């Protein structure tokens, strides 16, 4: 009979195991050497199996877990497994499908009690958290899902990629906002409801160049797309990713993106920019300054991006999307947008 202490210990170790699993996965995707990559893949598979056994045990014993809603646990995906199941064509072994457009998966589960397994505070008003992914929850990179707490439901873009064993979210806590104030108190061990994945930005692999424009949490679908591309060995594209924020501490994924850009310079250029360079909070910032919408034309020129070979995407609040469209549409660029309001 599992005691509350056993459950608490199990949750802590499960959380740690998923963090380690993610760390191995991150190092694997950023790795240039084939031998090291396959060693890391083997380590990831072993850790994935161990995490799975622990999650299955928790699911059996813990009222918070999705299994209490009658679902059967599914093992965390092995590298390559999800990609092969979700999308015909490209394999995880490094082959490329240049004409792939990410499809909406055919099956998607909802969950009444997805367990929060990790929370990271980026600033007092920006948090990253992960929930255990229900075994049959399928989605495409770039999609969003409605999260529910009590009787409040709001849409959030999924940051994680389909091959990852958790769902990750990066949320701006709007002061006074109904969901935001509940999420401010969110703790590991809490549960959220998950609606089916919806809409979102779809990566169109038929285009060689991708200009991705975001403000703060608008980066989310692009991270999902990027992690997925790397996992599937899609390295033939060029992504120029612009992220604007008021302050330098709001780039919640800066380390990951800078590491990926350094490891894959032909694939990714990451351009964070702060719009209030003179404020004390930005002291020491030596990077680009200005708003993404006012910088977009300069970026087009500097990176030689043309409408015939570039697809542009923008994600964030509608004001930014309209302004970016005002710069790109007259030049003939196709622009896909996701509005957060
Ligand atoms: C497709 C989609 C994807 C999204 N993805 C993300 C994402 O990945 N990350 C993310 O952070 N957001 C995302 N959003 C936005 C998110 O859905 C919510 O709109 C946001 O979290 C605010 O919800 P809320 O319930 O906290 O605010 P609400 O209660 O809905 O309030 C809306 C606004 O009014 C203000 N307000 C409300 N009450 C008060 C008050 N008493 N005093 C002062 N101001 C008040 C709030 O500050 C807030 O800005 C997405 C939206 C969509 C449509």
Question: Residues 188, 230: one domain?
Answer: no
Model pLDDT, residue 111: 72
State yes or no: pLDDT of 79 exceeds 70. no
Residue 83, ligand 1, Cβ within 6 A? no
Q: Ligand 1: distance of its center to the CA of 208 in Å?
A: 34
For ligand 1, what atom is nearest to the CA of residue 171? 11
Asked whether residue 92 is domain-assigned, the answer is no
What digits encode the pLDDT tens for the residues 274-298? 999 999 999 999 999 999 999 999 9
Question: Residues 71, 130: one domain?
Answer: no
Q: Ligand 1: distance of its center to the CA of 339 in Å?
A: 12
How, if at all, do strands 111-123 and 191-194 pair?
A: antiparallel
Largest separation between any pair of C-alpha atoms in the chain: 67
Reported for 150-153, long-range contacts at CB under 8 A and 24+ positions apart, including other chains, are 150/182, 152/178, 152/179, 152/182, 153/179, 153/193, 153/195
Question: Residues 120, 186: one domain?
Answer: yes
For ligand 1, what atom is nearest to the CA of residue 181? 26
Residue with the smallest CA separation from ligand 1 atom 3 is 156
Model pLDDT, residue 91: 28
Asked whether residue 202 is domain-assigned, the answer is no
State yes or no: pLDDT of 195 exceeds 80. yes
Last residue in a domain, options 35, 53, 86: 86
Question: Residues 278, 326: one domain?
Answer: yes
What digits encode the pLDDT tens for the residues 83-133? 222 222 222 233 333 333 444 443 445 677 889 999 999 999 999 999 999
Probe target for ligand 1 pocket from 131, 153, 154, 313, with the most ligand atoms within 8 Å of CB: 154
Asked whether residue 100 is domain-assigned, the answer is no
- Percent of the chain exceeding pLDDT 70 equals 79
Asked whether residue 243 is domain-assigned, the answer is yes
Question: Residues 213, 180: one domain?
Answer: no
Residue 180, ligand 1, Cβ within 6 A? yes
Last residue in a domain, options 194, 229, 258: 194
Question: Residues 182, 214: one domain?
Answer: no
Residue carrying structure tokens 């929370």: 119
State yes or no: pLDDT of 74 exceeds 60. no
Choose the weakest-confidence range: 83-92, 152-161, 222-231. 83-92
Listed in sequence order, the residues at least 6 apart from 110 whose beta carbon sits closer than 8 Å to its beta carbon are 193, 194, 195, 196
Quote the tokens at residue 167. 């769902």
Residue carrying structure tokens 């694939």: 267
Residue with the smallest CA separation from ligand 1 atom 49 is 174
Question: Residues 226, 316: one domain?
Answer: yes
Residue 179, ligand 1, Cβ within 6 A? yes
Mean pLDDT of the chain: 83
Asked whether residue 95 is domain-assigned, the answer is no
CATH code of 186's domain: 2.40.30.10
Question: Residues 220, 316: one domain?
Answer: yes
- 21 and 132 Cβ atoms separated by less than 8 Å: no
- Quote the number of domains for the chain: 3
Model pLDDT, residue 63: 46
Model pLDDT, residue 21: 67
Residue 155, ligand 1, Cβ within 6 A? yes
For ligand 1, what atom is nearest to the CA of residue 198? 1
Q: Ligand 1: distance of its center to the CA of 161 in Å?
A: 23
Question: Residues 53, 163: one domain?
Answer: no
Q: What is the mean pLDDT of residues 173-183?
A: 97
Residue 184, ligand 1, Cβ within 6 A? no
Angle between helices 254-263 and 220-231 (to 10 degrees): 40
Question: Residues 144, 25: one domain?
Answer: no
Model pLDDT, residue 10: 79
What digits encode the pLDDT tens for the residues 35-66? 887 788 777 766 766 765 676 576 566 644 33
Probe target for ligand 1 pocket from 129, 142, 147, 156, with the most ligand atoms within 8 Å of CB: 156
pLDDT band at 77 (very low <50, low <70, confident <90, very high): very low
Residue with the smallest CA separation from ligand 1 atom 15 is 340
Listed in sequence order, the residues at least 6 apart from 195 whose beta carbon sits closer than 8 Å to its beta carbon are 110, 145, 146, 147, 148, 153
Asked whether residue 99 is domain-assigned, the answer is no
What digits encode the pLDDT tens for the residues 304-341? 999 999 999 999 999 999 999 999 999 999 999 999 99
Residue with the smallest CA separation from ligand 1 atom 21 is 180
Model pLDDT, residue 207: 94
Model pLDDT, residue 56: 59
Rounded CA-CA distance 45/56 in Å is 16
Residue 97, ligand 1, Cβ within 6 A? no
Asked whether residue 93 is domain-assigned, the answer is no
Q: What is the mean pLDDT of residues 169-177?
A: 97
pLDDT band at 266 (very low <50, low <70, confident <90, very high): very high
Q: What is the mean pLDDT of residues 199-222?
A: 96
Model pLDDT, residue 32: 78
Question: Residues 37, 142: one domain?
Answer: no
Domain containing 279 equals: 209-339
Q: Ligand 1: distance of its center to the CA of 15 in Å?
A: 28
Q: For residue 204, how far is the Cα from the chain centroid? A: 17
Angle between helices 254-263 and 4-29 (to 10 degrees): 30
Residue 41, ligand 1, Cβ within 6 A? no
pLDDT band at 235 (very low <50, low <70, confident <90, very high): confident
Residue with the smallest CA separation from ligand 1 atom 28 is 177
Asked whether residue 118 is domain-assigned, the answer is yes
Q: Which residues pair with 171 in a beta bridge?
A: 127
């Amino acid at each position: 009979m599992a005691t509350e202490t056993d459950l608490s210990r199990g949750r802590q170790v499960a959380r740690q195991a998923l963090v380690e699993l993610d760390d191995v996965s991150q190092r694997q995707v950023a790795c240039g050497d084939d031998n090291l990559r396959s060693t890391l893949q083997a380590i990831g598979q072993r850790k994935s199996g161990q995490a799975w056994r622990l999650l299955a045990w928790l699911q059996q014993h813990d009222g918070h877990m999705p299994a209490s809603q009658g679902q059967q646990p599914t093992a965390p995906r092995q590298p390559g497994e999800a990609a092969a199941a979700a999308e015909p064509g490209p394999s995880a072994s490094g082959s490329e499908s240049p004409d792939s457009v990410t499809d909406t998966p055919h099956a998607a589960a909802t969950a009444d009690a997805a367990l929060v397994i990790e929370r990271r505070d980026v600033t007092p008003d920006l948090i990253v958290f992960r929930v255990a992914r229900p075994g049959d929850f399928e989605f495409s990179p770039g999609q969003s899902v409605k999260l529910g707490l009590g009787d409040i439901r709001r849409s959030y873009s999924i940051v994680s990629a389909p091959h990852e064993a958790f769902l990750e979210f990066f949320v701006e806590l709007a002061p006074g906002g109904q969901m935001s104030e509940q999420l401010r108190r969110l703790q590991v061990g809490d549960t959220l409801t998950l609606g089916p994945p919806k809409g979102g930005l779809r990566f169109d692999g038929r285009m060689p160049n991708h200009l991705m424009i975001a403000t703060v949490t608008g980066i989310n679908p692009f991270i999902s797309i990027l992690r997925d591309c790397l996992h599937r060995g899609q390295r033939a594209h060029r992504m120029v990713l612009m992220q604007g924020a008021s302050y330098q501490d709001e780039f919640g994924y800066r380390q990951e993106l800078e590491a990926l850009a350094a490891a894959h310079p032909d694939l990714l250029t990451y351009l964070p920019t702060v719009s209030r360079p003179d404020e004390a909070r930005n002291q020491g910032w030596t990077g680009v300054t200005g708003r993404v919408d006012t910088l977009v034309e300069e970026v087009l020129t500097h990176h030689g991006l043309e409408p015939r070979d570039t697809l542009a995407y923008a994600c964030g609040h509608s004001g930014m999307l309209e302004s970016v469209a005002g710069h790109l549409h007259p030049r003939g660029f196709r622009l896909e947008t996701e509005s957060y309001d």
